[in-house]
Structure 1
Amino acid sequence: MMFSDPQLWFFVLAVIFLSAFIQGIIGFGYAIVAMAVLPLMLDFREANLLVALSIVLPVIWIFWAYRKHSNFKVLLGAIAGSLVGLPLGLLMFTVIDLDYLVRGTGLVILLIVVDGFFQKPVQTESGPQQASPIWSTFAGFCSGFLAGSTSIAGPPIVIYAIRQPWTQDQYKGFIFGFFILISITRVIGLSLMGLVTTPVILTSAIAIPFVIIGMALGTLIGPRINPVIFKRCLLMLLAVSSLYMVIQGSADEKELKPELSARTTPSTTIVQ
């Protein structure tokens, strides 16, 4: 996945940077935003691989800042569930029809948008983290499945975490501790399946600095932005993108062939 078209590179890196910037501000959203926008110009599976590989190092970097607030006992249920859901998601990623995968991802994003509009704030507590092992396991399973099939691991585990009476640091320690496992496990799974090729690695390596810079700026600017207004604007943008994915789906073969021809000659060259 190496592109010869400078405009396509600009589009991809701009989306990567913006997605990471949003992640730095609100603590999640990188994969949601990236997978809502990148498939407009890239093949869905190419976008999936790029998002999966480019997020690993930035997630580890962010978790390091919140490692003291992460309670691994609380993470056990979610981790156990994710280890079951991730292989099933990877299987779906390789066998399911691309049209269904695109529409399904759009539907997931749309459901998250609806939940975000009606979500009520939870009163936080500074004491020890408590969590239901059953629901954390279920949330971990759903996140693992979505990570494997669509690269969007965040929604289920984030919905679970924001409903807990945790401080912001405890929330981020839990979320990014979980994301480290998901990110690394997913890359290992994709590698074993032979999908992580040298061009994919090189493209991801180019994207990673933009992810890190975006997250760093988001972390600095985040406290100065009204979180309610920002979240509403983000949700509306995501609603439009997700509706487009649900309605449009994947282009059929007749529409896709001319597009691929235009991409590979000469503007975009995709190296398998």
Structure 2
Amino acid sequence: MPPSGLNGRLMSIAGRWSCVGDLRAGRLSARRPVRQSQRMVILLSAFGIVLLGAFAQAVSGFGYALVTVPLLAAAVDPRAAVVVSALTGIGLTVTAAIRERAHARWQVAAALTATALLGLPAGLLVLALAPERLLSALIAVVVLGCAALVWSRARIRTGRIGLGAIGVLVGVLTAATGTNGPPLVAAFQSLGYDPRTFRATLAATFSGTSLMGLTGFLLAGQIHADVVRISLVALPAVPLGWWLGNRLFHRIDPVVFRRIVLFGLLGSAGAALASMAG
């Protein structure tokens, strides 16, 4: 065999066993049968993570992205985690907003969504340009920040300027990390909303920012076949998780749940940091 033919043969063999289809980078490839079992683990893990996130969202009104993004980032790359969380969570937030519309403060939700649009471009730049480890670190910091807010019951100024600044920050976080709940949790705690109003107004705000974020991801080319495939497999977990969580919404003790939320947030932040270290 001529040298060129030998080289071509060796390159072909090497290509079959290369890391082109590396799942950790979010590149699921059907050309590599040896990776089929790993692909199944990724898809099953995504289903379980989305189930857990939907459960947390139903019980507390927030927590879907805070649970799903860090845990998904440990299985696929952080950018794919942000987009998969957004794709699977949009139906959940819109449905919750419609069902709880009578309890939502729509003026507040609309104002926050409008100002979030100002922060969206900056968030898209961070998502596109930040190194994966830095993105994982940002996700972990946001989740830990939310844990601190829940623990301290922090209150912030909620006048027009305060809500406007929160809205811009929400826009940045929507696109950059997908975890835009922490500033909203602090704002609604400061406004003194009861649990039903709290959950409903969060759902209304998340609906607007999620639609806005998905549009940004589409225009920025962040939605591709791999994230769509993972999202479609995980999507059935959303109504199941919501149904389970909604059954506990009126029954669970607030003190016990607050502790569960804190441990869950710390665990998901740890997963993001582990992903960064790996």
TM-score normalised to structure 2 length: 0.80
1:224 aligns with one of 242, 246, 251 = 251
Offset of 1:76 from its aligned partner? 3.7
Instruction: Give the Cα–Cα distance (whole angstroms) in 2 for the partners of residues 53 and 103 of structure 1.
Output: 22
- Matches of 1:240 and 1:218, distance apart in 2: 19
1:173 equivalent in structure 2: 200
2:45 corresponds to: 11
Shift of 1:176: 1.1
Per the alignment, residue 150 of structure 1 pairs with: 177
1:31 & 1:21 partners in 2: Cα distance?
12
**Structure 2 residue corresponding to 1:57, chosen from 73, 88, 91:** 91
Distance in 2 (alpha carbons) for counterparts of 1:164 and 1:152: 21
1:182 paired residue number: 209
Quickly say closer, same or farther: Cα 1:212–1:95, change in 2 above 3 A. Answer: same
Structure 2 equivalent of residue 135 of structure 1 = 162
CA distance 1:213–1:87, shift in 2 (3 Å): same
Q: 1:188 to 1:153 in 2, by over 3 A?
A: same
Query: Which residue, out of 130, 154, 159, partners 2:186?
Result: 159
1:214 shift after superposition:
0.5
Deviation at 1:120, TM superposition (A): 6.8
Q: What is residue 19 of structure 2 aligned with on the other side?
A: none
Matches within 5 A, 1:253-264: none
State the structure with more CA Rg.
2
Q: Secondary structure at the match of 1:79?
A: helix
Identity %: 25
Comparing 132-141 with 174-183, greater Cα deviation is found at 132-141
**Aligned position for 2:63:** 29
SS at structure 1 position matched to 2:193: coil
Q: CA deviation at 1:250?
A: 4.9
Residue 234 of structure 1 aligns to a residue in which SS? helix
The answer for the alignment partner of 2:228 in structure 1 is 201
Q: State yes or no: 1:87 paired with 2:121.
A: yes
State how many pairs are aligned. 242
Q: Which amino acid aligns with 2:92?
A: P
User: 1: CA distance between counterparts of 2:200 and 2:264?
Assistant: 28
Return the letter of the residue paired with 1:12: A
Q: What 5-or-longer segments of structure 2 have no aligned partner?
A: 1-25, 30-35
> CA-to-partner distance for each residue in 1:198-255, whole Å, 9 max, x for gaps?
443343233222112201210112222222112213312422442453476253xxxx
Q: Is the 8 A contact 1:107 1:246 kept in 2?
A: no
Which secondary structure does the structure 2 equivalent of 1:143 belong to?
helix
Unaligned runs of 5+ in 1: 122-130, 252-272
CA distance 1:69–1:217, shift in 2 (3 Å): same
Q: For 2:140 and 2:85, how far apart are their aligned partners in 1? A: 16
Give the Cα–Cα distance (whole angstroms) in 2 for the partners of residues 185 and 196 of structure 1.
14
Measure, in 1, the Cα distance between the counterparts of 2:214 and 2:123. Answer: 13
4+ residue runs over 3 A deviation: 1-4, 243-248
Q: Deviations over 1:43-99 (max 9, x none)?
A: 111211110111111111111111123333223431232011122101110011211
d(CA) in 2 for partners of 1:72 and 1:132?
A: 16
Contact 2:70 2:136 in 1 (8 A): no
